[in-house]
A = this chain, B = another copy of it.
Amino acid sequence: MAYGYMGKVLRVNLTEHTTQIEEPSEDWYRKYMGGSAVVGYYLLNEVDPDIDPLGPENKLIFATGILTGTPLAGSGRNSVGGKSPLTGGFGDSQGGGWWQVELKKAGFDHIVVEGQAESPVYLWINDGEVEIRDAEQLWGKDTADVEELIREEVGYDNARIVQCGRAGEQQVRYACVVNDLTHFSGRTGMGAVMGSKKLRAIAVRGTSKVEVADNDKVMDYARMMNKEVSDGNRSAGLMDTGTPGTVMGLQESGGLPTRNFQEGTFEGAEKISGQTLRDTLLVERDNCYACPVYCKRVVEGEEYDTDPVYGGPEYETIGSLGSNCGIDDLDAISKGNELCNRWGLDTISTGMTISFIMECYARGIIDADFLDGIEAAFGDADAMLKLIEKIAKREGVGDLLAEGSARVAEEIGPEAEPLAIHIKGQEVPMHEPRLKQALGLGYSVSPTGADHCHNIHDTGFVASADAVNIFGITEPLPADDLSSAKVRLMYYVTNFEHFLNCAVVCKFVAWSKRELLEIVRGVTGWDTSIYELLKVGERAATMARLFNLRNGFNDRDDKLNDRFFEPFEDNPLGDTSVNEKELQSARVTYYHMMGWDDLGRPTASRLAELGIECFEDYLIKK
């Protein structure tokens, strides 16, 4: 009896138009647990180095986790992974919602998509039955229309749908994967991979149940969290103002990304804050499966006729399309968010590519001619909206901007390159390394380039040390510390975050680490420990590292943009910036803690300690 997982992996070959079902062992499920580690498993085993991420040799993996679909808040999540067209390395992005739960209820833990269809298709999974269907009629359509059309076609109003959007069809390198219209696996361009395979969507209907080992225990935890949240004891701020609630705190501490990270405070911060959003455009709060937190926003805007069916902006979107572009118009930002969701663009990379263009424009490196006549001044909301459309449709200059800021900078020339704030090709999300210095280290060594989704956020909870007490750390460490003690903290926390991306669990539901351990035990029945959970995360990170090394990355790619080595002027942070030498030293310390050598290459011994000797052949030999 499988607890916490369904025991089946669906493999779909679009070139050959075939499907098959694989049944891994329980040991396999325990070792990888799901999400990021499952992505790593298939990429290492099946995706050769140097293949084109947008060619038929790439694989696209939809991976739920052992907690997905249990009755627990935060368990409605999955990973989407493949070789990234944005970074050329490990691609992996998590999203919440309902689709992934439906997939498990339909009998599958993971889907591995391979090959490339000749013409557009979608997948219809109905309680274990799988069909590859024609999708010509869906091609070029907005995400909401596609969802409606498929539901009509399959005859189930409640079928759950994941899709790549028009941006994915166009292989915009930072196209996201959209599920349930308002939930996204945003980063590393998995939408482009989906589009390159001409797989417009996967529709699912499932009626099975995810069985758990100890139902009473699991239900007790589920009820406890629901009560805690409804009593306002946990995640209360997220319910009230959603992730945009962080705008004002970051503004006050001087870490609100502004005008392409040139500044850390924004004069229009209050106008784009979570409080303002709540008090103006918000029409509804939304959630993921089984979650009482309702952190998601639904907005309606008259000025730009913003359609609430596409939800509302997260903090990342308000930062990247707002302060980061110098825009203080919440209506315009919400419209920008709607367009990204309608067409399937990652809002972070979209906003950061636009803010990069705006800085190039402000510095006179490019002019309006370059931009098809658009005057892309910081703060110009119309310019931002026009550029989004051009990108999604690859129209005019949009065809270049769709390549992502790193490639655009290369095209423009050396003057532009320092202004493209990306790591390994992926644009930096809305968290400031000068404020959170261990996060900066995390960005630089992350397998997916700049990514906040498996990273330490070393303010707040870390300062109290409560959240890491279970690892034996009892002393708080300040945010601007990059000592080896801080690296230790970062090593533990990021490995735990990687584990969360394997299990797969949301970080916004305020489960303690001990509760999560008990939940994993209750769901799976495994006699597991915090030790094993950390090792699951470390295993996932190590496998991703191996994949990157095989694809030509090395320690020199584990860098941070020069911008973060300079202090802001006139900022609450004062003259605080990341010290490049300290960062380099911290990086090597992190390598060693991960069991990697001075050049960031995993040792055979650490692979053995992680139980993945099977990948030893992929080690770059000294």
Contacts and interface: CB of A to CB of B under 8 A. Distances in A.
A491 B609 CA distance: 9
A608 B588 CA distance: 12
Contacts of A609: 488, 491, 593
Nearest to A517: B529
Nearest to A466: B527
A530 B530 contact: yes
Nearest to A605: B592
A617 B168 CA distance: 55
Nearest to A590: B605
Given A613-B484, A613-B485, A528 B470 contact: yes
B488 A611 contact: yes
Contacts of A30: 472, 474
Given A485-B611, A488-B608, A529 B530 contact: yes
Interface string A471-507: 1111100000000110110010000000000000000
A474 B28 CA distance: 10
Interface string A517-530: 10000000011111
A595 B609 CA distance: 11
Interface in A579-622: 588-589, 591-593, 595, 603-606, 608-609, 611, 613
Interface in A194-251: none
Interface in A443-471: 469-471
Nearest to A30: B474
A514 to B, nearest CB: 7
B531 A605 contact: no
Contact of A528 (B472, B593, B611): B472
Majority secondary structure of chain A interface residues (helix, strand, loop or mixed) = helix
Nearest to A473: B611
Given A528-B470, A529-B470, A593 B606 contact: yes
Given A27-B474, A27-B475, A488-B609, A529 B531 contact: yes
A471 B611 CA distance: 11
A41 to B, nearest CB: 16
Interface residues of A, number: 42
A469 B532 CA distance: 9
Nearest to A532: B472
Contacts of A27: 474-475
A475 B27 CA distance: 9
Identical chains bound together, number: 2
Contacts of A178: none
A563 interface: no
A31 interface: yes
Nearest to A527: B469
Contacts of A469: 526-527
A469 B524 CA distance: 13
| Residue of A475, A487, A491, A529 with most partner-chain B CB within 10 A | A529
| Residue of A484, A531, A534 with most partner-chain B CB within 10 A | A531
| Residue of A31, A588, A591, A609 with most partner-chain B CB within 10 A | A609
A79 B193 CA distance: 60
A617 to B, nearest CB: 14
A535 interface: yes
Nearest to A608: B484
A589 B609 CA distance: 9
B606 A592 contact: yes
A121 to B, nearest CB: 39
Contacts of A611: 472-473, 485, 488
Contacts of A488: 608-609, 611
B529 A471 contact: yes
Contacts of A526: 469
A484 B605 contact: yes
Contacts of A529: 470-472, 513-514, 517, 529-531
15 contacts: A27-B475, A469-B527, A470-B529, A471-B529, A472-B528, A472-B529, A472-B535, A472-B611, A484-B605, A485-B608, A488-B609, A529-B529, A531-B531, A589-B608, A595-B595
Given A471-B529, A592-B606, A593-B606, 7 more contacts: A469-B526, A470-B531, A484-B605, A488-B611, A514-B529, A589-B604, A589-B608
Q: Which 6 residue pairs of A and B lie closest in terms of their CB atoms, listed nearest first?
A: A592-B605, A484-B608, A472-B532, A529-B530, A531-B531, A530-B531
Interface of A: 27, 30-31, 469-475, 484-485, 487-488, 491, 513-514, 517, 526-532, 534-536, 588-589, 591-593, 595, 603-606, 608-609, 611, 613
